[in-house]
Amino acid sequence: MDYKIITNKKKNTTQIRIPLDSSKIAEPEFGSLMLSAKYEHLLSKQWTLGHFKLDTTPGVFLLIRADGYVPLVKEASLELVYSFYKMPSGGIFGIFLHVDSKKLAGVSPHGFPVFECLLGLDYHETIDLIAEALEQYKVHLCVADKSPNAESTVMSDSGDWIDLSNPECIFDLVQEITPELRSAIIENFKDLLMYHAKSPGNFQQSMHELDELFPTSESPLLEPPKPGFFQRLFGNNKSKDIIEANPFDEKKKHLVGHMETQYPKLTNVPDEIIERYRKTFDRNLDNIVRNITDCELKNNDSDFEYFDEETCVYLFVSVFNKPKEQVTDYYVDISTEPDFAYLNFYANQFLNNWPSTKLRYLMHLIVCNSNDGSFQIHNAVSQYGGSPKARGDFIVFPIDILTENERVMLFNN
């Protein structure tokens, strides 16, 4: 079974997102449900969900109240989400049903097609019901509308009058939970309970803290983190085969016709070198962002260099307020060997002016301004062995890493 475990450390939240199989939709096992008063929220709210048990049928069931909109739920893709919130004042457990429906989003009370239930962990009865539900090897959803029968009005503990109505089950969806997924869910819930036991245990304050992290104007669902700079640079694995050995997609004649034969082993970046680049880049990120932004505002072309003798990396940033095609032409124009312009530029710009004998690796960011004013960032990563002027030992790994619309990713990482 496909599922995603997403953790956001800034929000102290982990979510397990489980796609539901619409082929498992079936006729309802129950009709009009006669629930006890302890399930008040399932009787009084028209847009909610929650677990319930019956005296006559074993197991724990998950009820979704979608009064008036059950057909929209039935025709949409569904996703069950378990949320584990570690707020400073206590732990909160959340259950969501995400319905992929623009129509439902338009009528949702909070603007998102999500049914939700948030629970504190101060009462054993609540914890026991959640634990029993999560320990099952299946999830049984009962999607319900408002029953035309058995409506009533009662007074709440706070003295307010509440309209109650029984849920009328319209369809069920029963899906098996794999042992692996079940273990992941239970492990996260136990971890949340341990965290809560050591916390102040103030539910109201915890909810206030949760509201600050997840305001009602935003979806309560976590999205998978966008790939960071080095993920885009080297892929998901620590080592990645390098396919493109040209700093730019076009005009391939300006580098590497000979490189593929001269350096047949340039297709792998060692883990240890990647870690050096990662550490150097992270240490200089603020300055890189500041310098690129300054060049953009002033419409300047400029170079910036950063040394890190601990990692032995020489980080060089070239910013051009012109499209990458013009930058390619620039490298050709300054080169005495146009067919190998970029490699020749390396020899002239870097190797003959190497700042320190302790630096053994080069990372070159080439920032180009596209025609619409947004930036593209290209990368050329190089390592030399022995003398930095020994061009035969100089290996170039250029990779195009960001598109025009993804420049912001650099500033977010």
Per-residue pLDDT at 391: 36
Q: Does 219 score more than 80 pLDDT?
A: yes
In whole angstroms, what separates CA 15 from the centre of its chain? 11
Q: Where does the pLDDT of residue 257 fall: very low under 50, low under 70, confident under 90, or very high at 90 and above?
A: very low
Q: Does 14 score more than 80 pLDDT?
A: yes
Q: Where does the pLDDT of residue 9 fall: very low under 50, low under 70, confident under 90, or very high at 90 and above?
A: confident
Mutual angle of helices 179-198 and 124-134, in 10-degree steps? 160
Distance CA 242, CA 238 (A): 12
Distance CA 398, CA 307 (A): 20
Per-residue pLDDT at 408: 45
- The mean of the pLDDT values for the chain is 76
| Residue environment code for 9-31, b if the CB has 16+ CB neighbours within 10 A, otherwise e | eebbbbbbbbbbeeeebeeeebe
Per-residue pLDDT at 151: 66
Q: Where does the pLDDT of residue 61 fall: very low under 50, low under 70, confident under 90, or very high at 90 and above?
A: very high
Per-residue pLDDT at 110: 84
Strands, E assignment, 321-403 = 361-369, 375-384, 394-400
Task: Give tens-digit pLDDT for 348-371.
Answer: 566 566 777 777 777 777 777 765
Give the other-Cβ count within 10 Å of 178's Cβ.
11
Specify the higher pLDDT residue, 340 or 147. 147
Going by the DSSP 8-state scheme, the letter that residue 405 receives in this structure is G
Specify the higher pLDDT residue, 341 or 128. 128
Answer for the pair 167, 32: CB distance below 8 angstroms, yes or no: yes
Strands, E assignment, 309-374 = 313-320, 361-369
Per-residue pLDDT at 288: 80
Please tell me the chain's helix, strand, coil percentages from 3-state DSSP, rounded to the nearest 5: 35, 30, 35
Task: Give tens-digit pLDDT for 274-313.
Answer: 677 778 877 887 788 788 778 877 888 888 888 888 888 8
For 288, 343, 348, the CA distances from 328, given in Å and listed in that order, are 22, 12, 16
Task: Give tens-digit pLDDT for 318-345.
Answer: 888 877 667 766 665 655 554 444 555 5
